[in-house]
Every structure is written in C-alpha cells, then in structure tokens.
Amino acid sequence: MIDGFLAGLSAFSSWQVMAGLLGGVVIGYVVGALPGLSAGVGMALLIPFTFGLDPVVSVVMLVSLYMASEYSGAIPAILMNTPGEPSSAITALDGYPMRERGEAGEALTLSILGSAVGSIISTLLLIFTVMWMTKIALAFGPTEYFALAVLGLSLISTLAGHSILRGFIALLFGLLLTTVGADPVDGVMRYVFTDNLLGGFPFIAALIGLFALSEVLRMLESPGDRVTPLKELPGLTAQFGLLKPHAGNLVRSTFIGYILGVIPGAGATIASITAYSVQKRLSKSPETFGKGNPEGVVAAETANNACMPGALAPMLALGIPGKASTAVLVGALAIQGVRPGPLIFTQHPEIPYSIYIALLVGMPFMVLLGLFGSRLWVRLTTIPASVVTGIVAATCLLGTYSESNDIFAIGVAVGFGIVGYLLSKVDIEPAPIVLALVLGYMMESNFRRSLVMSGDDMGVFLREPISAICLVLAAVIFVAPLIQNLLTWRRRRGERDIRPGVETEVSR
Amino acid sequence: MATQHDEPTVDISAEHKDLTFRLELGDALAGAALLAFAVTFWVLGADIDDGGGYGVGAATFPRGIALLLGIGALVLLANGLVHLFGPPSGHLVTIGRPLHVIAGMGLMLAFAPAMRHLGYYPTMGVFLAALLWVADCRRPLHILAYVAGFLLFSKIVFEMILSIPLP
C-alpha cells in the first residue's frame, strides 16, 4: 500500500495532473448543476478530450468531474427545486423549503460540507476495505436485490407526508408506470402505445417533470414580483460551525452511502433515500422533515457523496462497473490500455492510488469553491419570481432534451409535471412516485429472475440470509407506522370519550 | 374565500381570482382518475403475452399493482364522496390564479410539438417570452434580454461546449 501511495503521490507532482484535477472539478460543477446532464453523460462527453493525455491525468480528471457533479446537483435542487442529479431529488425535499424561508445559504453550506465529510470518510473506507467490501458486493444476487428493493420501498412511510394511504397510492402509481416498456425477463412488450416507450418512461424526464415543472406551475399561482427574503450567511469559519449539530447524522449517512455504493446497481438515489429515512426516524423533530429541516439536507447529501467512493470499490477490485458513471470510467481506462480488476493494484498501482489521492485532494478545493460560491449563488434567490419561473422552465425543457436527444422526452417531462402538480393539490406527494420509479424495475426484474432460478419456489426469498434480513426489516418498517397510527387513533378516541363535548379534527 | 362554517363545494373568488374547493372533492376527482388509470392497466394487461399463464409472467406484476392501486383509489374516492356529503372538514384546496396556471400548462404542452416542427431556437424564443409574460414579467426589453441571453447560453454551453446538437 505504501508503495502504491508513493507511486500515486509522484504522479501528483506533475502540473498536468493538478490541472486535470481542477479542470475536472470545475466541469463537474457545471455538468451536475445542469438538470438532465448526469455525471455519466459529462464523463462520456469528456472522454474524447482525454485520448492524448497520460492515463493518470485522464483518470484524475474524470474522477474529479464525477465527484464534483455528484455534489453540484444539490445547487439547483436547493435554489430551484430542480434536481441536477437524480439523487439530489431527496436534497430538494428540505433544501427548497429552506430556500423559501431565506435560508438558501445555510442549505448550500450544509450540503457542501456534508458532501465533503461523506466523500472523505468514504474514501478512507475505500482505501482500507476495498477488497473486503467487494466480497459483500459479490454476495448480492437477484434474490438479495429484490429484497433490497422491497426494503427501499418500505421507506415510503417516511416520504409519504401525513397520510400513509396517499403515500401508498403515489407509490403504486409510480410502480405501475415502471411496467411500461419491454418486460425485464421475456422482453414482452407491455403498454407500449408508441415506439418511444419501448424502454419505458425516461427516468430523468419524469424526475424533472415531477419536481421542477410542477414547481413552475405552483410558482405561476403567485404574483411574479415577489422576492424571497435572504438571511445573511455567517463568516467562513462560522459556516463550518453549522455542521456541528449534525455529527451523528454525518457518520450514519456516510456508512449508509458507502455500503450502498459498493453494491452494484444500488446507487446514490437509494443511498440518499435510506439515509434520509433513517435520520427522520432518529430525529427529535421528524414532523419538520419535508418542510425545511437541515438534517434532511445533511443526510441526503452526505450519503449520495459517500456513495461515489463506494461505487469505485467493485470497479477497481473486480472490474465490475456498478453504475453508468463507473462504466464510463472503465471505458476511459480501457482506451488508455488499463484494465481494472485485481491486477490493477500490482500492474498499474499509480491508477487506483491516484484516484484515492484525487478524491482526498480535490475535495478541499471543491469545498472552497462551494463555500465561496454559495455566497454568490444565493443571490439568485433575490431575482424576481417571474424571471426564475421562466428560466427554470426553459432550463428543464432544454436539459430534458439534451439528456436523451429526443423530443418525446420533453412531452414526458411536461406530462409528469402536470400530473405531479395536480396530485400535489390533493396531498399526493411526488417523492414516493420517484422512489417507485427508481426501484420498480429492480424489484420486478429480480423477483422474476429469482423465481426462474429457483423453479418458482417463493421460499427462496426467506432461505437466503441477506434477503431474509432485508425482508424482515422491510416488514417491521411497513408495519410500525401503521401500528403507531392505530395507537394514536385509539388514544384520540379515548380522549374524545372522556371529553365528549370537545370536537377534535378528523385525522386524514 | 370560503370558511369552515359556510363552505361551498367550489368557489372562484372574484377578489383574488383563486379557485378554491373542498379537499373531499379533490379526493373524489383524483380517486376517480386513478381508478380509471388502474382499470385501464388491468384490462390492457389481459392482452399481454403471459407465456401460457403458468407461474409469474409478464402480466402478473403490472396487473397485481393495478389491482392494489385500484383498491387504494377506490378508498380515496369513497372517502371523498362520503365526506363530501357530510359536514365540511375544513380542508381546502386552493389553485391561485388558475388562468395563469392553465396558460403555463398550455405553453408547456405546446413546446414539444412546436419544437418538432419549428426547431429549437424559434420555439424556445416564443415559449420563454410567453411564459415570462404569463409569470408577470411585463417589460418588453427585459423579456427580450432574458430570451436572447438564454438562447445564447443554449448555443454556447450545449451546442459549442457540450457538442449536443439542438434541432
């Protein structure tokens, strides 16, 4: 390990590597902040420019782009309720209400510092546990993935708002939408009314519609000359102090992000949702989640950035890309003649150790850019609402098109925007729909694959230990709020019986 | 605006031009729409090739979900109807400036077909100018500046730097 680090450090003595690092961070900031452009797309667009570069410069540039874009998706999520990256949708749940209270600066500060802590601790975990963690990743087959998806869906009760029924309806609506397109096992077409739906509804378009375009319609409800009040940010040192009350949240969310990042296919969105839900359950004020609780911003951002080093573990140790961004990274390394896998640590030690160093060295630069930048970006909130409405809508439509080069995707985004707006009027929130869109395909495909492999034996889900643990946990999480609701209802009924003259409001 | 004690089902306030109605009515409408959606998926699911109907096939999952959504939507609809004819709960749904919202929806819905026929730049120019107007930005020079700035941003960032062709 020491030799590897020395090889990595010697590579970092060249100015080209440092220029690649800084260039990657800046490009990553821009790519992540533009709705529709994900880290994977940004990296793919950058690859042609890395052909002539040294392999270390190339990989450092791509990894720092990946790291920066995972964070910067939070900026439009907080300022405009428009997630720059899918995982930032969870950040928007509390970040945007904070911005509406004039606390955009605090939300941006917490998001960058949470991201930094998550990324640095997760990188250290990656360095020391890379080989061990890949064994866990390999233990996941279809049965375990199905159980993991069910566990993810069980978190619905934390995203459902104040009505479990409405949360379930939103979840089922989202799940039904994931069944459009080719069936995941036999390839049979389902509900395909146009060729554009062969691959199902485009996820990014749906996400932009549900969060951003529905918000544009809500903004049209109020006069356009209003300006959000803006609370002043404290000095730079005091900005760091904002993170002080969140120490436990940071540690928990980092571990959740790292572990879920290692599992191929799980991804930053699931990590954010899980960390958010765990924090809501442990919080002293869970009722303020979704209404601008800073704990929600810290949990979501810490987990989604801790996920990124975790995703590098199976890629480096086994050559398995767990997500689109790491697949692009494998492609970029292949172009340079480097093959990720167990031998990379002996044949090209400078590559993995340069990645580790890039993650550790790039983060402070990213934090400084984020802390100074947050003072500038919060000024955006002082722009009149009419201008913000127009620019957000235009950016969303442009971003949706550029993600897929398909005009049909714009129609999907608009459709989801209108449906999301109308459903939110009757308290059916978009977050459970997004959760279902993320997990629906994963759940169905792995459920059916498990049954095919086991000869239609349903018992397989309880025989595998990881699967059984996930399903039992899911059952507890599903049932606990229902029991809690029942107990609350009985207590209220008891109080009403004691004081029959007092009218109590019907709980919806 | 309607109060809890004297609460009509639907109220279009003349003063603020807001559309206000009881949540129960919204529940009934949303429940009916979602029920229709679930029934459509259930019925169309019968035509999916399910490999002879043995075991779990391509239609099982969507039809199962459609059934559950149908039940949930039916509960929402029934709950809404029961409370709609009962005493008001005091929960109201308000759509502020409904004409502005409808105009915004119309502009968004027209964007994709217009872009297919006219191309990106003319469509975005007209869309952004119209949406800014609907959102109360009423100074023509400001609108012109915002539209020109955004189109320039599209050209430089998306077409020139990111090499994403815009039709």
As a whole number of angstroms, the longest Cα–Cα distance in chain B is 67
Confirm or reject contact between A397 and chain B (CB < 8 A): yes
Average pLDDT over residues A262-280: 83
- What is the tens place of the pLDDT at every residue in B22-62? 889 999 999 999 999 999 999 999 888 776 656 678 888 99
Q: Residue A455's pLDDT band (boundaries 50, 70, 90)?
A: confident
Write down the mean pLDDT value for chain A: 84
- pLDDT of A94: 92
Whether residue A397 has pLDDT greater than 90: yes
- Sorted by where each begins, the domain ranges of chain B are 19-95, 98-161
Amino acid at B114: A
Nearest chain B residue to A193 by CA distance is B44
For residue B58, the distance in angstroms to the closest alpha carbon of chain A comes to 6
Asked if residue A349 is part of any domain, the answer here is: yes
Task: Select, from the ranges A6-15, A47-56, A430-439, the one with the highest average predicted confidence (pLDDT).
Answer: A430-439
Structure tokens at A289: 């989640």
Asked if residue A228 is part of any domain, the answer here is: yes
Of A479 and A116, which is predicted with more confidence? A116
- pLDDT of B119: 94
Task: Select, from the ranges A28-37, A130-139, A456-465, B111-120, the one with the highest average predicted confidence (pLDDT).
Answer: B111-120
Task: Write out chain B residues lying below 8 Å of A408, CB-based.
Answer: 112
Task: Select, from the ranges A159-163, A466-470, A494-498, B107-111, the one with the highest average predicted confidence (pLDDT).
Answer: B107-111
Q: Residue A507's pLDDT band (boundaries 50, 70, 90)?
A: very low
Beta strands in A69-114 (DSSP E): none
- Closest by CA to A262, choosing from A185, A148, A92, is A148
Question: CB B164 to CB A405 under 8 A?
Answer: yes
ipTM (interface predicted TM): 0.90
Average pLDDT over residues A102-112: 89
Q: Residue A506's pLDDT band (boundaries 50, 70, 90)?
A: very low
Identify the weakest region by mean pLDDT among A225-239, A388-402, A411-425: A225-239
Burial of A244 (C-beta count, 10 Å sphere; 0-12/13-18/19+): exposed
Confirm or reject contact between B108 and chain A (CB < 8 A): yes
- pLDDT of A372: 83
- pLDDT of B2: 36
Average pLDDT over residues A386-391: 90
For residue A298, the distance in angstroms to the closest alpha carbon of chain B comes to 31
- pLDDT of A227: 66
**Number of compact structural domains in chain A:** 1
Nearest chain A residue to B147 by CA distance is A391
Question: CB A173 to CB B105 under 8 A?
Answer: no
Nearest chain A residue to B129 by CA distance is A390
- pLDDT of A409: 93
Q: Which structural domain, as residue segments, surrounds residue A121?
A: 2-491
Task: Select, from the ranges A29-33, A158-162, B80-84, the one with the highest average predicted confidence (pLDDT).
Answer: B80-84
Task: Write out chain B residues lying below 8 Å of A219, CB-based.
Answer: 135
- Closest by CA to B22, choosing from B74, B69, B85, is B85
- pLDDT of B5: 42
Confirm or reject contact between A222 and chain B (CB < 8 A): yes
- What is the tens place of the pLDDT at every residue in A218-247? 989 988 666 666 677 777 777 888 888 999
- The CA distance from A179 to A193, in Å, is 13
Identify the weakest region by mean pLDDT among A36-45, A53-62, A165-174, B42-51: A36-45
Share of chain A above pLDDT 70, in %: 94
Of A158 and A18, which is predicted with more confidence? A18
- What is the tens place of the pLDDT at every residue in B89-110? 778 889 989 999 999 999 999 9
- pLDDT of B9: 58
Which distant-in-sequence residues (6+ apart) come within 8 Å of A438 by Cβ? A86, A152, A203, A267, A269, A270, A273
Question: CB B135 to CB A405 under 8 A?
Answer: no
SS3 annotation, A354-404: HHHHHHHHHHHHHHHHHHHHHHHHHHHHHCCHHHHHHHHHHHHHHHHHHHH
Whether residue A505 has pLDDT greater than 50: no
Length of chain A: 508
Whether residue A483 has pLDDT greater than 70: yes
Of B7 and A329, which is predicted with more confidence? A329
Q: Residue A498's pLDDT band (boundaries 50, 70, 90)?
A: low
Task: Select, from the ranges A83-97, A106-120, A147-161, A257-271, the one with the highest average predicted confidence (pLDDT).
Answer: A106-120
Helix or strand or coil: residue A193? coil
Q: Which string of DSSP letters, residue by residue, matches B74-141?
A: HHHHHHHHHHHTSS--S-EEEESSHHHHHHHHHHHHHHHHHHHHH-HHHHHHHHHHHHHHHTT---HH
pTM of the model: 0.80
Asked if residue A507 is part of any domain, the answer here is: no
- What is the tens place of the pLDDT at every residue in B115-160? 999 999 999 999 999 999 999 988 999 999 999 999 999 999 888 8
